[in-house]
Amino acid sequence: MTEIVTHWRKSSRSSKHTACVEVGRIGDGAAVRDTKDRSLGYLTTTSTQWQAFLNAVKIDRFS
């Protein structure tokens, strides 16, 4: 059974760009998709994985 993704949202910082991603809720995790071609599907993560990613972004780990 496929879970339904709800509340897709694009970052307000990407409003002027065409190469963006959207994040949505799926179960207790998150789903991520490319705004250029939404028909390609999405990547899912658990809530633990998503929180670890957000924490890494906040401390600028990917620069």
What is the pTM for the complete model shown?
0.76
Whether residue 1 is contained in a domain is answered as no
pLDDT at residue 52 in the model? 96
Whether residue 42 is contained in a domain is answered as yes
Amino acid making up residue 33: R
Q: Which domain holds residue 33?
A: 6-58
Domain count, the chain: 1
Whether residue 14 is contained in a domain is answered as yes
**Residue where the block lists tokens 């963006």:** 20
pLDDT at residue 10 in the model? 86
Rounded distance, CA 19 to CA 12, Å? 13
Whether residue 54 is contained in a domain is answered as yes
Whether residue 63 is contained in a domain is answered as no
Handedness of CA 48, 11, 58, 63 (dihedral sign): positive
Q: Pick 51 or 7 by higher pLDDT.
A: 51
- Helices and strands in the chain, H and E counts: 1, 4
Whether residue 32 is contained in a domain is answered as yes
The predicted-structure confidence for 21-62, as pLDDT tens digits, reads as follows: 899 999 889 999 988 888 999 999 999 999 999 999 899 988
pLDDT tops 60 at residue 1: no
